[in-house]
Amino acid sequence: MATDQRTTADATVHSTVEDPVVEVNNAKVTFDDGETYVLDDVSIDIERDEVLGIVGESGSGKSMFASALLDSIPDPGRLTGEILYHPESGGTVDVLEQSDEELRKFRWEEISMVFQGAMSSFNPTMKVGAHFRDTLKAHDKNVEEGMVFARELLENLYLEPERVLDAYPHELSGGMQQRALIALSLVLEPEVLVMDEPTAALDLLMQRSILMLLNDLQKTYDLTLAFITHDLPLITALADRMSIIYAFQFVEVGSRDKIIADAGHPYTRKLLNATPNLDAPLSEMQPIEGEGPAPVNVPEGCSFHPRCPLATEECVSDDPPLETIDDDGHRTACHHWEQAREEIALNYGEDAATAQRDQEAFDRDVSPERGEEAVLSLDDVEVHFEEEQGLFDIFGDDPDIVKAVDGIDLDIYENDVVALLGESGCGKTTLGKTAIGLQRPTGGSVKFRGTDIWEAKAGNTERSYDEVRQAMQIIHQDPGASLNPNRRIVDILSEPLRHTHPNISRNERRDRIYSLLDRVGMNPPADFADRYPHQLSGGEKQRVALTRALLMNPDAILADEAISAVDVSLRVELMDLMLELQDVFDTSFLFISHDLSNARYFTEHGDGRIAVMYLGEIVEIGTAERLIQDPRHPYTKVLRWATPTLDLDAVEAGEPPMRSIDVPDPVDPPSGCRFHTRCPVAREACTEQKPPLYDVEGGEGNGAACFREDPDHEYWQSEPLEGAELVGPDEEFQTDQAAGD
C-alpha cells in the first residue's frame, strides 16, 4: 500500500469545515497483524448539523468507517489514528482514548448508530417499548420522561406510538421497523447519527419517505447525519456534502451539487454514468469495467488505475493525494482530474437527457414487437393464503386470508420482457412464482403454450409436466443463498445438464459449461468453474445463477430482484448481459423489481412492458416510456416521485403525493380501489367500487385501473376524501419531481 504521500496531504487540507463536530485524522483499520487494510489513512471533518453522504461500492470500506467513528471495530481488527468529538457543550473527546465505560455511554448518548437490518437490531422476544425502556435505564435516564420523548419521535415518523410500542418487532412492516429503530437511536438525544445503509432492505417508496422524514428530524433536533450508502442517487435529496470512498480511501469530497454536476475523479464520474436513472439516455448508461479490489490485493499507486480509462504510468506508481481542486473545498485524489472533467462526460442533465430521450421516443415503436404465441397466459389468477395459527388460535375464529394475488390477467409472449414493479408485499414474487409453476393458484388458470400447468402435473395433458417445468426457470435475488456453498461451480452447473442431456459425456458437459461461462464474461472459464461460491464476487455469483438457468434452455425466466443484491455500478452490465443472452436462447423474461429506473432500462432495451402492482392487483401496465412520461394511475405517479434523480433542478423531492406512507394490511385490504386510503385524488366512489383496467393512449396493452380514465364515471360527481385534492378531469395533480422534469 502506498500511503505515505496521502498521509501528509490529508493532514494539511482536510480541515475545510468551520465548526467540526467530528474530526477523523489518518484513521486506519487493519487485520492480519497490520498486513491487510480495510480503511487506509482516512482524514475528514464532519461539520455540525450537516448531512454527510458517504458513497461507495460493496467492500469499499464504508461500514468500517462507520464503525471507526464509534471505535467499534470488530476483533481482531485494529483501529489507529485520531478521532476527535467536539460536543456542543464544549471541550474535546478523544474517542480512541476512552475507557470501556466511557465508550458505552458515548456510543448512544453522543454518537448513535442505525444499522442496515432493523429486524436484526431488535430482540425478537421483546416488545418495541421494552427496547426503549431498557435503553433509558442502561444510561441512567428518567424512563417516564424518556418515553414521552419516544412517543414524540414515533409520531414525527408517522407511526402510532401506542401500537408500535406494544408490538413485537415481527408484527411491524419493514418500513415501520426501520422508523422505530431510528426513533430508538434518537431517544437519548445524540448529536450525531451514523446511518449504515439504513434503507437498503426497503423498497424505493419507503426509502424516499424515510429520507424525507430524516430531513425533517435533522432540522427539528439539530442533528448531524453521516449517511452511508452504495446508492448515489438515493442520497442526493438529503446530503449537504458527499464523500466518495473507493478501495478503503476517500477519493473525492465536496458539496452535493459539486459532486453531482462537476465531479473531478474518474471513478465518481464513471459511477454516476453507471447508475440506472430516469434522467439519462439509455444508450449512455455504461457499467464500470472490472470490480473494486479486495483488501489483500489493492494495487500500488492509485487504487482505481486498473479500471480507469485515463490511467498513466504516474497513476501506477504514485498514489495521488486528496487535494483541493476548487475554492469551495472540493477535494479529489486524482493526477488527471482536469482531464477527467473534459473527457468523461456525464450522461444526465437537461441538455443531455432531453434531446436523446426525444430521439429514443421517436425511433421506438409505441407497442413493442413480440412473438405472436403466448408462452405464459395468466387468466384471473388468484393466490390466497391462510395466515398460520398458533395452538390456541385453532379453537377460535377462522384464520385470516391474505390475498397476495387477486384476479390478475397477463400474457407473456415469445422473446418478451415484462417487469413487475411495486412495493414490498404487493404480490410481485408470488405472482412470478405462480407464473412459472412454483406456486399453485387458488383461483384462475396458468397456461404454458396453451397447456394448463397444474393439469399437466396431474397427468391430464399431452405435454408432460417435466417439459413444462424445464421450460421455466428462476434467478433468485440473493445468488449466494441459491448456490450450494459446498460444491464447485462446475458441479453446480453440471446438474441441469444431467437433466436436459443425460446421455452426454462428462467432458462434453464441461465443454458446454466452459462455453457458456465464457459467454457470460467469466474468463478464464476453467478457473471459475473450479471455484466455490464464496470465492466469487456478488456479480460473478449472479452470472453463475444466470448460466444455470440458461443451461436448461428455458422458454421463460423469472428474474426475482436478480440485480438488487449487486452494486449499482454492475446493474447495467448484468441487465445488458441478460438481454444479450435472450437473443441467443430465445427466452422471455419476467423481471421483478421495486426500482423504476432498473425496470425502465430492462424493458426499454428489451422492447417490453412494465406492470405496476399494488396489493395483489395490476393497477397500470404499459411501456416504460409512457409510464414515465405519462403515468395515468396515481400510484404510478407515486413511484415516479419515489425514484431518485441526479437532476439537480428536480432533486428536492418535496412532500410525497399520497395521504399515508404505510401500505394497508393485506389481510384486510381496503374496499373498492385498494389505493384509495393513500391516493391524493381519491373520492367517495373509490371506496365503493373496484375500477377495471381501462385502455389508455399509448398502444395496445396499455391500461390503468383508475376511474379518472372514464370521463362519465360517477367518480367525478362524488366528494373527495379527507385530505385529498379536488382535481378536475382536465387537470392533473403534479409531483414536484415530475414538474421538474
pLDDT interval class at 305 (50, 70, 90): very high
Confidence check: pLDDT of 419 > 50: yes
Tens-place pLDDT, residues 547-577: 999 999 999 999 998 888 777 778 888 999 9
In angstroms, how far apart are the furthest CA atoms of the chain? 82
CA distance 738 to 723: 21
| Nearest 10 degrees: Cα torsion 186, 188, 189, 192 | -70
Residue 551, classed as helix, strand or coil, is coil
Q: How confident is the model at residue 366 (pLDDT cuts 50, 70, 90)?
A: very low
| Cα–Cα dist 203/75, whole Å | 33
pLDDT number for residue 472: 95
Identity of residue 574: L
Grid cell locating 678: 393513500
Report angle CA 623, 627, 629 to the nearest 5 degrees. 115
CA dist., res. 71 & res. 372, Å (int): 62
Q: 186, 203, 202, 205: which is closest to 194 by C-alpha?
A: 186
Could you give the CA distance from residue 589 to residue 412 in angstroms, rounded to a whole number?
8
Answer whether 589's CB lies under 8 Å from 578's CB.
yes
DSSP-assigned states of every residue in 586-618: T-EEEEEES-HHHHHHHHHHTT-EEEEEETTEE
pLDDT digits (tens, 9 = 90+) for 438-473: 999 999 999 999 999 999 999 999 999 999 999 999
Neighbours of 558 (CB within 10 A): 27
Q: Per-residue b/e over 389-400, b at no fewer than 16 CB within 10 Å?
A: eeeeeeeeeeee
The enclosing H or E element of 38 equals: strand 36-47
Same fold, 4-110+190-343 and 374-471+554-740: yes
**DSSP state string for 437-490:** TSS--SEEEEEETTEEHHHHHTT-SSS-HHHHHHTEEEE-S-HHHHS-TTS-HH
Q: Distance (Å, rounded) from C-alpha 248 to C-alpha 228? A: 14
Mean pLDDT over residues 600-626, rounded? 94
The chain-wide mean pLDDT, for the chain, equals 87
Residue 651 has pLDDT above 80, yes or no: no
Alpha-carbon gap, residue 352 to 293, rounded angstroms: 32
Q: How far apart are CA 95 and CA 677, in angstroms?
A: 48
Classify 362 as helix, strand or coil: helix
Tell whether domain 4-110+190-343 is in CATH 3.10.20.30.
no
pLDDT per residue over 100-146, tens digit each? 999 999 998 999 999 877 778 899 999 999 999 999 999 999 999 99
Q: Which CATH superfamily is domain 374-471+554-740 in?
A: P-loop containing nucleotide triphosphate hydrolases (3.40.50.300)
Task: Quickly count: other Cβ atoms within 10 Å of residue 76's Cβ.
Answer: 9
> Radius of gyration (Cα) for the chain, nearest Å?
27
Contact indicator for 261, 645 with CB cutoff of 8 Å: no
Q: How far apart are the first and last CA of the chain?
A: 45
Would you give the distance in Å from CA 578 to the centre of its chain?
19
pLDDT at 43 over 60: yes
pTM: 0.86
The residues that bridge with 226 in the sheet, in sequence order, are 52, 194
Stronger pLDDT, 693 or 482, i.e. the higher one: 693
Domain borders along the chain are: 4-110+190-343, 111-189, 374-471+554-740
Q: How far apart are CA 635 and CA 655, in angstroms?
A: 15
User: In whole angstroms, what is the distance from residue 592 CA to residue 579 CA?
Assistant: 15
CA distance 671 to 100: 56
Q: How many CB atoms lie within 10 A of CB 583?
A: 10
Return the number of other C-beta atoms located less than 10 Å from residue 613's C-beta: 23
Distances (CA, A) of 707 to 632, 690, 720: 10, 9, 13
Distance CA 299, CA 283 (A): 31
